[in-house]
Amino acid sequence: MGRLQSSNSSPCYFWYNKAAIFYASGVTSMHRHNTMQIVFDIQRNFRCRLKHGEWKNCNCVIIKESAPHQLNTNDSVQLIIYLDPTTEIAHTIKHRYLGENDISCPDLGIFQITNTVELQKSIVSPDPFMLERLVSGILIYLSGKHPHNPIDQRVALVEQTIALSHPDDFTSKNLAEKVYLSESRLRSLFKEVTGVSLHRYSLSSRMRVAVNQIIMGNTIRDAAIKAGFTDGSHLQKMMLKHYGISPSRFIKEKLMSADVNLDPTPLRLETTVC
C-alpha cells in the first residue's frame, strides 16, 4: 500500500468508509487510488488533470476510483476526502456529478457548503470527531440529501470575503458596505447567525491562513507575516490563547504524526503511481 504524504500535510484520518487529509505538497506524480477522491481547496484554487488530459483550474474536483490523475496544489492547501466507492453515498455522488466520466469539477467552494468556523478549528487544532462531522456534512451535501436550511446570504458573503481575502484587504466598514448594512447591524447579525463575533471570525481566518502557510512549508515567521500578524510571537500568542497550541507544537504534533485510525476496520486506501 502506498501513500502520498509528506511533511506538508496533516495526518490522514481513517474512518470505516472514508478518510481525510489536509494536503499541500506541490505537484504529485501521476497516480490513482482504489477509492473515490473528492478535493476542496481551502485557500484559493488548485489544478488537476487526468492522464493525457489538460490541466484544469478547480476549487473542487471529484475523481472516480482507479482514474489516473495528477494534482498541482498551486501554493495552496486542499482538503482531500477518500470515499469507499461501494457505499450508497458514493454511488449517489457518482450519479450526480460523474456519470460515465472519470472526473468532474463542479463550481463549488468549500466555504459555500460547510460550517466555516468548524473548518477553521479542524485545520488549526485537528479534532477527528469535528473533522468527521465536517466531512460527513460535505458528503451529504454532494449527495443532494442535505436538509434545507436557509442561509442569510449577507452573512455568507461576508464569511466568504473574509475566508478568501488577505486581512489587509478588508475592514468591518467595507464588509458592512458590501452587504448594505451599518457596521453595528452587521456585527449583531453576524454573531446571531454564526455564534461568533465578526472580530473572532476574522482572527480565526487569519490563523487558518497562517496554518495553511505552515502546512505549505513556510517558516512560522513568514507564515505569520503573510497572514497579517506582526511577527511569529504574535501568531504564537493568538494560537495559544484561542486553540491551546503553539505553531511549533502544531508542526511537531499535527504535521509530523502518523496516520490516525479511528475505527477498528478503517478504510483501506491504496495509492499506485502510474
CA 50 to CA 37: how far, in whole Å?
Answer: 13
Q: Backbone phi, then psi, for 45, in 5-degree steps? A: -160, 175
pLDDT digits (tens, 9 = 90+) for 69-98: 999 988 888 999 999 999 999 999 999 999
Q: What is the mean pLDDT of residues 93-105?
A: 95
Over residues 160-206, the pLDDT tens digits come to 888 777 777 888 999 999 999 999 999 999 998 888 899 888 888 88
Q: How confident is the model at residue 255 (pLDDT cuts 50, 70, 90)?
A: low
End-to-end CA distance of the chain: 14
Q: What's the pLDDT score for residue 34?
A: 96
Choose which CATH entry (1.10.10.60, 1.10.645.10, 3.90.660.20, 3.20.20.30) describes domain 153-255: 1.10.10.60
Q: Report the chain's mean pLDDT, rounded to a whole number.
A: 86
CATH architecture of residue range(s) 13-115+128-147+261-273? Sandwich (2.60)
- The residue-averaged pLDDT of 255-261 equals 72
pLDDT at 2: 35
Tell me the pLDDT band of 120, cut-offs 50, 70 and 90: confident
Instruction: Give how far Cα 218 sits from Cα of 25, 44, 130, 253, Å.
Output: 12, 17, 26, 17
The answer to whether 271 touches 33, Cβ cutoff 8 Å, is: yes
Residues of the chain with CATH 1.10.10.60: 153-255
* CATH 2.60.120.10 location in the chain: 13-115+128-147+261-273
Which grid coordinates are listed for 253? 504534533
